[in-house]
Structure 1
């Protein structure tokens, strides 16, 4: 009999895309260096002083591209962020007021910011289930939201967990082949259980002729159980973009999305998603309404339990007032802060590396962890992995000592990525955002300490989304807002910087 214990499976091999160009300059800085040197040589033929002045000016302009933060931002990007924040404050765009007494058309409580232009539509899938479709007319994008109830990881064999992870990887790889898909997100939201559902299930079933002791016990259970429990919701958003040259009606696009939903749901079930279903337009509006005003969570659940729905529409899913500061976002009955991923776990990790971050945090009003995915088409994936492989080989052969050892490790990871991509695996970019909502600013500062402890346990590096808290808060909602699609500077130019 063999006594060797099977080693638990580990996961990893994610790498930050290597920036093209010389060192930290990027592609734009590299072209500027060579172009400036050539121009300085030509100017030196006429005036040596002018050539020296040009070289000094070039160094002055390129130095901010060399100075970078831990997450890769250069000095120009930091300055642009601060300038944008001061401009928004000068125009009063950091505050928002809605409702009948505001200047908003028709007096509705529309969601603010990036959600102000979205419109809601509804369709029916192959099983005659209602699903909501969020339409962004500015970019002609359509978003569907799927909900699921994942199977827990307790008392589950490691082999089963490995199967679930493999199925989830296959589902993500499928996104690279989804026509016109621009991005996806996975949001896990946790909050204290208000006890509304338990009360609606238990209290109406208490018989009037039951013993007094039995009725007292049941009422005590309804009263005390929610204080030690929490609710958890999982949402998956998929955002599709219709090219401008395709003249298609909204009904045709919604019909096509309805055809895709059953296949997407079956993949989630195989990946341990449990019961998966599309979210209706009313349900999406409820999620957004509760996110902006956590105090109404119990009322929304009560209406849904008694009447089967709240009747809430998208035009009234927003807050009454919001105020954005440098490090926080105040909205109706809550104050939120969002953190952005700057560094993924290095090396290999276990399947439960994010368990502590995803679990309910004691003392928080609401917490959302959003994993953002940007699928890359197979043709582009092949070019990226080959470019990374050549860059890793160059670094491994040109370095010495510890630098060479790290470069050799990167070359091994690049070779493995290239081999997996050639075998049919998909390439996808990902990031992570965490939003915590509290009742007051002082409680939010205490919650920041808990987030630092959780990120250390998850081997992540997070930074607060200072000066963009409102936009970051919106990106963690299940509404299909993709950060890379809502930037002033195009994504291709940002990568070149």
Structure 2
């Protein structure tokens, strides 16, 4: 039976922003007006040199600290460069584990950065499944990581895909009313991995008494398999605030029990949203995810060892990289490979469908590994109403203050803001979101150029403005891992997290 259902389109994106005039924000306008006023007062007293100095100071403050070039102010770029130089001179941009590590012995092989102070708490949920929560002690948060197995849009009828997209929207809406939930991430981890593990597993499954001819045919068939096969893993991570759930800095047992009770419900919602059969990951699986991210070139070795029951790392405390070099700016080096990360700065510039992100999510031969991380920050209904009200007023302001006729983009922005306001009044929910992409490649110039050109091509076809992370590569790399690092909990004013609203 054919399925003639059309692909649903989405694009109700809003970018939180303050009113602007002549391209300047309200604070920049205040500084400019104050500088001009003081300069005029000084000129009235014939203090022309002083007036010129005041004007110059006002212009410098606005240009250096309030006008963004490529998503960052000049002061921001300078402070980032100084921060990187300081970390390089202090040695903190180079992380080494094992015998050469300068960390205490108990931390000598742990993950770096924000994940250094993260511990696992294991147990069994109401369905009898084992789980391991990640306790981020620095911010007192608990993260549960679900391994998902989506079928993919190409394997299902469009009507089923549309229904799953609707359920996914329901899951996002539920984040805003889930008590204690501070954020969620969905990470799509893709690679072109070695087929050695699959081939070895097939050969080992042959019955010892099988006919020789059958063994020969099977062995020949296995030998025709490609050397590498596309692999795609999807992880959904939910993060709760332990204090809100009754936990304290010293004892989070009550919060752990509350999260464990919620795992079955979250699994069911993710299943309905197209995640296949979501299962909470345990400590050994979390450590394996980290090791593959640091050492993607060892995938064949790890697959063969796993068949023999030998895991390179099966506990969280020893899942860190051998070394991690964050001293070069955009590109970071770790365990014989290199990575770089880019981040979305503005939501997609056009409507998208359920297939629009196929290329960015799927495996790509130009990368050893690629992670696309979507971040969702729930907004409570009261705050959501205030945000949308501000967006409507900003859209009105932009139209009324524009010199000449309003553009189609101005009118479209107002219509989207008003439509969102109407939907909120009818019970819809608001979520802040953003996207980051980390690609890993061989540490040579040719591989870097290929990876750079390819990731730019993937992002440009989405009509999505972005920028590369130039001075905090380690933090960006570990943020895209599915381990529940929420940037807004570690930084008060992250640039990108306010870039999209749905």
Q: CA deviation at 1:226?
A: 4.7
Q: Is 1:421 the counterpart of 2:420 in the alignment?
A: no
Pairs within 5 Å for 1:83-102: 83-102=82-101
**Segment of structure 1 superposing worse, 45-54 or 12-21:** 45-54
* Secondary structure class of the residue paired with 2:231: strand
Name the count of aligned residue pairs.
Answer: 490
C-alpha distance 347-299 of structure 1, shift in aligned 2 (>3 A):
same
**Segment of structure 1 superposing worse, 269-278 or 116-125:** 116-125
Cα distance in structure 2, aligned partners of 1:380 and 1:20: 19
Cα distance in structure 2, aligned partners of 1:37 and 1:246: 54
Pairs within 5 Å for 1:282-301: 282-301=284-303
C-alpha distance 294-196 of structure 1, shift in aligned 2 (>3 A):
same
Q: CA RMSD in A?
A: 2.9
Judge conservation of contact 1:192–1:226 (CA < 8 Å) in 2.
Answer: no
Judge conservation of contact 2:124–2:131 (CA < 8 Å) in 1.
Answer: yes
Q: Please, which of 317, 327, 331 is the counterpart of residue 328 of structure 1?
A: 331
Q: Please, which of 449, 453, 474 is the counterpart of residue 470 of structure 1?
A: 474
Pairs within 5 Å for 1:69-108: 69-70=69-70, 72-106=71-105, 108=108
Q: Deviations over 1:211-256 (max 9, x none)?
A: 4443233224334425252221100112222449966321111111
In the alignment, which residue of structure 1 is the partner of 2:453? 449
C-alpha distance 223-109 of structure 1, shift in aligned 2 (>3 A):
farther
Q: CA deviation at 1:38?
A: 6.5
Q: CA deviation at 1:44?
A: 7.4
* Secondary structure class of the residue paired with 1:154: helix
Cα distance in structure 2, aligned partners of 1:397 and 1:305: 67
Cα distance in structure 2, aligned partners of 1:155 and 1:76: 49
Judge conservation of contact 2:344–2:496 (CA < 8 Å) in 1.
Answer: no
**Segment of structure 1 superposing worse, 158-167 or 28-37:** 28-37
In the alignment, which residue of structure 1 is the partner of 2:282? 280
Pairs within 5 Å for 1:45-444: 48-49=47-48, 50-70=50-70, 72-106=71-105, 108-243=108-243, 248=248, 249-307=251-309, 312-324=314-326, 325-399=328-402, 403-441=406-444, 442-444=446-448
C-alpha distance 29-396 of structure 1, shift in aligned 2 (>3 A):
closer
Judge conservation of contact 1:326–1:469 (CA < 8 Å) in 2.
Answer: yes
C-alpha distance 199-160 of structure 1, shift in aligned 2 (>3 A):
same
* Secondary structure class of the residue paired with 2:153: coil
Q: CA deviation at 1:196?
A: 4.8
Cα distance in structure 1, aligned partners of 2:268 and 2:93: 42
Cα distance in structure 1, aligned partners of 2:479 and 2:441: 18
Cα distance in structure 2, aligned partners of 1:119 and 1:69: 40
C-alpha distance 125-40 of structure 1, shift in aligned 2 (>3 A):
farther
TM-score of the two chains, using structure 2 as the length reference? 0.89
Cα distance in structure 2, aligned partners of 1:281 and 1:208: 35
Cα distance in structure 1, aligned partners of 2:485 and 2:415: 35
Judge conservation of contact 1:435–1:476 (CA < 8 Å) in 2.
Answer: yes
* Secondary structure class of the residue paired with 2:72: coil
Question: Which consecutive unaligned segments of at least 5 residues does structure 1 have?
Answer: none
Question: Which consecutive unaligned segments of at least 5 residues does structure 2 have?
Answer: none
Judge conservation of contact 1:182–1:240 (CA < 8 Å) in 2.
Answer: yes
Q: CA deviation at 1:67?
A: 3.4
* Secondary structure class of the residue paired with 1:19: coil
Q: Deviations over 1:424-463 (max 9, x none)?
A: 1111111111111123223132122111222233333333
Cα distance in structure 2, aligned partners of 1:101 and 1:492: 36
Cα distance in structure 1, aligned partners of 2:447 and 2:488: 31
Judge conservation of contact 2:111–2:319 (CA < 8 Å) in 1.
Answer: yes
Cα distance in structure 1, aligned partners of 2:72 and 2:18: 12
TM-score of the two chains, using structure 1 as the length reference? 0.90
* Secondary structure class of the residue paired with 1:346: coil
Q: CA deviation at 1:33?
A: 4.2
**Segment of structure 1 superposing worse, 37-46 or 391-400:** 37-46
* Secondary structure class of the residue paired with 1:230: strand
Judge conservation of contact 1:366–1:436 (CA < 8 Å) in 2.
Answer: yes
**Segment of structure 1 superposing worse, 123-132 or 47-56:** 47-56
Q: CA deviation at 1:405?
A: 2.7
Judge conservation of contact 1:198–1:222 (CA < 8 Å) in 2.
Answer: no
Judge conservation of contact 1:24–1:65 (CA < 8 Å) in 2.
Answer: no
Q: Please, which of 480, 483, 492 is the counterpart of residue 479 of structure 1?
A: 483
C-alpha distance 358-491 of structure 1, shift in aligned 2 (>3 A):
closer
Judge conservation of contact 2:7–2:354 (CA < 8 Å) in 1.
Answer: no
